[in-house]
Amino acid sequence: MNSKKYKDTIYETRDINNIKELFVGSCDLYAHKTAYLVKEKPGGKYMPIKYSRVKEDVECLGTGFYKLGLRGEKIAVLGENSYEWVMTYIATVIGSSVIVPIDKELPANEVANLLTRAKVSAVVYSKKIEKLLHAALEQMEEETANGIKYRICMKSDHGAAETDLDTVMEIGRTALISGDRSFLDNEVDSDAMCTLMFTSGTTGMAKGVMLSQRNIAANVQNMSKYVKIDDDGIGLSVLPMNHSYEMTCHIFTGFYQGMAIAICEGLKYIQKNLVESKATVMLGVPLIFENIYKKIMKQASSKGKAKKMRKMMERSKKYRLYNDQNFIRKIFKSVHEPLGNSIRLLIVGGAAMNPKIIEDFQALGFPMIQGYGMSENAPIIAVNRDKCSKPASVGPAMPGTEIRIDNPNEDGIGEIVVKGPSVMLGYYENPEATAEAIRDGWLYTGDYGYFDDEGYLYISGRKKNVIVTKNGKNIFPEEIEYILSEADFIAEVLVYGEIDEKTGDTFVKAEIYPDYGQIKEEFGKLTDEEVEKLIKHVVSEVCDVLPTYKRVTRVAVRDVEFEKTTTRKVKRNQKKLEKNAKNQDK
């Protein structure tokens, strides 16, 4: 459904000031509903865990943490998405301790660095990353490593851990039976730091974002005024839980609204898990949805139905047939059934999404909206309504959030600055960076954007990525990347500026990872030189429609994919780009 008649819709929500109120309220309201769908073993069946059990488990674990002397301490969590991961997070924060989510994809030296910087007193980790943790601990100074009082494995079949979650929960359960209510009766400070989240930015050293329970609770409640999940809604948790996008927008918002969350077994199991869980909602980043889209189109092409499907998609757009979801599912039955035939909403964030792909998903009967945010705002800043959206926009400002464009140019483009209850407390032990990011209560995002006349926000690109030419023209690499990524034979692209040593002028360079599979299907086996020639020709053709100053004048072709963050964003590191490129000059 996407109709302007819903452009002013605001859903009713229950007031929450902190995560404890969110948790207790939902456990009471939805006690008999399924909260999580988990697999006891890889490839097994999804088993339900009800809200009532989640409440019991968290109370036991939180009380167990108290008995270990961890109240008010920092507890790191490290591992793949799991029910145990969620339990650890919730039990930590509603017990007035600080959770420190750490990316399991980081190398041991970086994990060691973050554990040291955060000064954690305990680490809860999964069995799969036991070796990573041990390697990280070995790289830490002995005194610092010894300061980690407890190493707690999520499963009981651990190696050298002091204990495991089952044991800690049993300690808590025994204490609760004996009348210990210290955890249950704990009064949380809504405005104190509850989460220390290290950013996984595509450039630079990770900063520690300090968020309070009010920051997160406000984000959850205000986002729920624009996006409402059906009573029988099931979400598939795909993105890493150590990122605020997945944790706030999916795990906490899902719990707040009473939906069930199915834990995905991994990116390569998305389609299988969508079918098994009968998921109705999925959050993802552009690369995940782009891959799904390519598979849909490739399948149609292989069966000789691509032209017919395209024609029907155009009719769906023209006559808004997608607003009758039951009808459109029948029309595109061959597309919906392999994805579970249950999807009612796809939400994309983490990076900008090609609006044409959003329009195509919508035409196929998959409602898709995008939003915009950053960890420093817990994270959502703007989001489209679930029933009224613009594919090219990230939506209007989220309720309770003010957005203004700072120092706009003649096109209305300027830096996006934000004020509201979700703005972070600051950067951990970094007052200089905090003062730079937050000025007079306004969070300076470092992103450029503009509003249309209906108050919808559009993202132009990152301030730090802007290419400035000698004559003062601003070029947003993201715009050119959009256009090039739509072309045939291009799988991934990254655009940046370089200075010509002879003239001193700035030229636009594109580094491209070709779609070798598509090239082979179309032309057979090509040599490296032939691939290079093809890609340069494609770039030249695409750039003909751009103003002269925006045109790509250098192309580098690479034979490996770009390095990415765990949220599948390309890391912008020019030195590595130069090193990995096969070819530097056009």
What per-residue confidence (pLDDT) applies to 531?
95
Tally of residues, the chain? 586
In whole angstroms, how far apart are CA 217 and each of 323, 370, 381, 400, 567?
Answer: 32, 21, 14, 12, 23
- Spatial separation of the C-alpha atoms in residues 576 and 326, rounded to whole Å: 48
pTM equals: 0.88
Task: Examine residue 552 and state whether it is found in any structural domain, yes or no.
Answer: yes
> Quick one: CA dihedral 388, 391, 392, 395, positive or negative?
positive
What per-residue confidence (pLDDT) applies to 253? 98
Under a CB-based contact definition with an 8 Å cutoff, are residues 368 and 289 in contact?
yes
pLDDT of residue 159: 59
- The DSSP letter of residue 252 is I
List the chain pLDDT tens, one digit each, 586 residues: 899 999 999 999 999 999 999 999 999 999 999 999 999 999 999 999 999 999 999 999 999 999 999 999 999 999 999 999 999 999 999 999 999 999 999 999 999 999 999 999 999 999 999 999 999 999 999 999 999 999 999 988 765 557 999 999 999 999 999 999 999 999 999 999 999 999 864 444 789 999 999 999 999 999 999 999 999 999 999 999 999 999 999 999 999 999 999 999 999 999 999 999 999 999 999 989 989 998 999 999 999 999 999 999 999 999 999 999 999 999 999 999 999 999 999 999 988 888 999 999 999 999 999 999 999 999 999 999 999 999 999 999 999 999 999 999 999 999 999 999 999 999 999 999 999 999 999 999 999 999 999 999 999 998 888 888 777 778 889 889 988 988 999 999 999 998 888 777 889 999 999 999 999 989 999 999 999 999 999 999 999 988 888 999 999 999 999 988 777 778 876 444 444 444 444 4
What's the CATH number where 562 sits? 3.30.300.30
pLDDT score of 198: 94
* 219 found inside a domain: no
3-class secondary structure for 530-580?
Answer: HHHHHHHHHHHHHHCCCCHHHCEEEEEEECCCCCECCCCCECCCHHHHHHH
DSSP conformational letter for 250: I
371 in any annotated domain: no
Q: Which of 126, 155, 188 is the last residue of a domain?
A: 188
Residue 458 burial by Cβ neighbours in a 10 Å radius (0-12, 13-18, 19+) = buried
Q: What is the pLDDT of residue 160?
A: 55
Q: Which of 160, 188, 216 is the last residue of a domain?
A: 188
Domain boundary among 188, 213, 234: 188
Q: How many CA atoms lie within 13 A of 197 on its CB side?
A: 30
Does 216 fall in a domain?
A: no
Element (H, E) at 431: helix 431-437
pLDDT at 200: 63
Check residue 161 and give its pLDDT: 57
pLDDT on residue 319? 96
**β-pair partners for 284:** 348
pLDDT at site 578: 47
Assigned domain for 254 exists:
no
Q: Would residue 339 count as lying in a domain?
A: no
Q: What spatial distance separates the first Cα and last Cα of the chain, rounded to whole Å? A: 46
User: For residue 573, what are the domain limits?
Assistant: 466-580
Any idea what the CATH number is for the domain that residue 92 is in?
Answer: 3.40.50.980
Number of domains within the chain? 2
Domain annotation covers residue 121: yes
HEC readout, 69-100: CCCCCEEEEECCCCHHHHHHHHHHHCCCCEEE
Q: 414 lies in a domain?
A: no
